[in-house]
Structure 1
Amino acid sequence: MKIFRLILLLLHLGLLFLLTGVLLNAYIPPKIFPWFNLLSLGFPILVIAYILLTFFWIFSWKKRAFVFMFLGLFFLNPVKRWINYSSESKETANLKVLTFNIKGGKLGSEQIIDYIDKQNADLIFIQEYGDGGELKLKNGIGKHDLSIISLYTNYKVVSRKNLFENLSDGDITAQCAQIDLEIKGKIYRVFNVHLESFGFLKSMVKLNGNGEEDEQKVKGVVKKLIPTFKSHQEQVKILREAIDNSPYPVIVAGDFNSVPNSYEYYETSKGLKDAFYEVGRGSGTSFHDYKYPLRIDYIFTSESIQPVTYEVDHSVHLSDHFPVIATFKIN
């Protein structure tokens, strides 16, 4: 029994080490050490295993349980970025934002249009909207787009810019539109973001129990992940500079192809509010195609913009992403 407990203790310490590595994404970019970013993908599994082992020590009446419980407090905020239970805000919202990767409308463009129209959002951020054709929204909202991303709004467009126009790798799936809008008499700068896709298919990540084939699949996944992490670093740097140089309050929304506690998340969210972290409830999972908790769609805002509600609409299966809807109070 002592040997068994020793093995569990070493395993628990190993999990603690790996979870600490995830937190280092806030300081170490992928081009220096990409493996910490890789760990962020496994964060839910690592945390669950850590909690289960902590309960084991509690039920075994071991003093080390208190040590692991105390150290586990350092991971409360990282967990809240995946699963959150915020109290209800008492503020009254006057701005509604929707962001939705619609997968080119392949699962029903008419149903997508009907759904978006019913939301009656003030700002609609669309990613992967297909062949460049305009969504014929019934409420007549205008369209301001690049090739795969589009912003629909009734508010006046003051200026717009393609932030990723001169990327060194020129990947077409990496796009970011910077658009200045006049909202209720004040200028706001909004960013519609789609960081570079990993280019995975289900067949590429689904293991079938064949040891040799599964090993090759894992190696293939890692070979795609690492270079994309490094590309994301360049893309986020451009976005970060644009946010820092903005003379106006900002709203940043879209598909980041990155999970919470990743380098991309930490770097983008500096000085901004994550609407889910502030007022979200339940699971923040927004990508459901792999049957694994992946939150990769976000809405960030300046400190002066107050989140009121946040919802990932898990009832809608019109894409491999769920739509994300949030409301805010602006002056």
Structure 2
Amino acid sequence: MSKFFHKAFLILTVIVYLSIFISPGVFWPLGFLSFLIPILVILNLILLGIYIVKRKPMLMYPLIGVITGLPFILVTLVVNRSKSANADFTVLNFNARVFNVYAHLNQDYKSSKDMIKWASNDDADIKCIQEFYNDKNSSIFNTTQRLGDNKDYNYYFKPQFTNKQGAEFGLAIFSKFRIINKGFVKLKGRKNNHAIFVDVIKGIDTLRVYNLHLESMSIDENNIVNAKKLKNTYIDLFHRLKSGIVIRANQVDQLLEHFNNSPYQIIVCGDLNELPYSYTYFTLKSKLNNAFEDGGNGFGFSYNGKLPFLRIDNQFYSDEIEVFNFETLSDVTYSDHFPIKANYRIKRKKQNNSEEN
């Protein structure tokens, strides 16, 4: 391949990589460019490998492409050593898909019962659940009672809407620690997506925990994995993707302002509905640490649907907090999202010698 081709390919690679730094809310095509990032990373790695083996002088071009793409490699595949120090508390994040309440998702509500039992028995100190569903008149779906009151958890449940039967849909946070404050952040968007937070007392510290669910695509994945259906729906798919990309970019900007005004160190849990090669992800990463990157191992794929290899569920945390271990619970398959769980400790400031003496 010619030198011109390699230069052009490298320029394209760098432009695509830089697209994550400009909000799709300003220029929406950049959101689509970010979809090319993993493809370009892989192609540069393949070219570099071939040219090293064949000792081609052109290897400098894919080498630059790999080096500039290193941040994307590091958010894709991580290797962390297990830390021996004891964590202070554990946080669970889970998109429960309304506990499979819809009849087509299970027969006789078996998976619903199993999922609710699992969620209520999990021993995490803090549980953030998206697509939460509660029906106080149901012996199966009286979930605030079963996860909260019956298990001695304090909780904040913010319904997004209530149906004609009185059942509620929304976001919930359950905490073994005392909740001293709670709040709701209404996000801009076409859906009822929003964020909630609680301030909890952990020992001598106060911690703010956010639970968020960013704008959904509202895409039928069957239309993507089926080539015939994709051919008939690609225009609608494009408009849904475009709208979702722009809205989530605006939502994360809105949330970042709220995070910056927090008087306490924070942990952010949620379903981003966004890959880790996006403006949304890297905007959060610019201000917070990612628990998977710092405490996980492997790829951490969190979506349990027909579109494999997606990591869209995340936990982020402040610098004043330390993560020890992060795990994607891929054996818990009740929902179309795997739960994710991380162990944390609040850092202690070192005293100077005069204070110690």
> Which of 306-315 and 62-71 deviates more?
62-71
* TM-score scaled by length of structure 2: 0.82
Which residue matches 2:275? Answer: 259
Deviation per CA, 1:28-82, whole angstroms, max 9, x where unpaired?
A: 1012222332233343333223222222222332011243224312222211212
Equivalent of 1:206 in 225, 235, 238: 225
Q: Which ranges in structure 1 are unaligned for 5 or more consecutive residues?
A: none
Aligned length: 319
Equivalent of 1:176 in 180, 191, 195: 195
**Distance change >3 Å, CA 328–CA 125, structure 1 → 2:** same
Which residue matches 1:89? Answer: 83
Which residue matches 1:149? Answer: 171
Relative contact order (alpha carbons < 8 A, sep ≥ 6): 1 or 2 greater? 1
Task: Give 1:168 shift.
Answer: 4.8
Q: Is residue 44–residue 293 contact of structure 1 (8 Å, CA) maintained in 2?
A: no
Q: Is residue 40–residue 259 contact of structure 1 (8 Å, CA) maintained in 2?
A: no
Which residue matches 2:152? Answer: 140
> Which of 308-317 and 19-28 deviates more?
19-28
Q: Is residue 101–residue 323 contact of structure 1 (8 Å, CA) maintained in 2?
A: yes
Deviation per CA, 1:90-133, whole angstroms, max 9, x where unpaired?
A: 33211101001011111622222333344310110000123565
Q: Is residue 207–residue 217 contact of structure 1 (8 Å, CA) maintained in 2?
A: no
**Distance change >3 Å, CA 64–CA 186, structure 1 → 2:** same
Equivalent of 1:248 in 225, 244, 264: 264
Percent of aligned positions that are identical: 26
- For 1:142 and 1:78, locate their aligned partners in 2 and report how far apart those are by CA, in whole Å: 38
**Distance change >3 Å, CA 70–CA 235, structure 1 → 2:** closer
- For 1:20 and 1:150, locate their aligned partners in 2 and report how far apart those are by CA, in whole Å: 41
CA-based RMSD: 2.3
* TM-score scaled by length of structure 1: 0.88
Q: Is residue 22–residue 37 contact of structure 1 (8 Å, CA) maintained in 2?
A: no
Q: Is residue 143–residue 152 contact of structure 1 (8 Å, CA) maintained in 2?
A: yes
For 1:145, give the aligned amino acid.
Answer: F
- For 1:80 and 1:29, locate their aligned partners in 2 and report how far apart those are by CA, in whole Å: 22
**Distance change >3 Å, CA 37–CA 101, structure 1 → 2:** same
For 2:125, give the aligned amino acid.
Answer: D
- For 1:125 and 1:20, locate their aligned partners in 2 and report how far apart those are by CA, in whole Å: 37
Task: Give 1:16 shift.
Answer: 4.1
Q: Which ranges in structure 2 are unaligned for 5 or more consecutive residues?
A: 106-110, 136-141, 160-169, 348-357
Which residue matches 2:316? Answer: 300
- For 2:76 and 2:330, locate their aligned partners in 1 and report how far apart those are by CA, in whole Å: 14
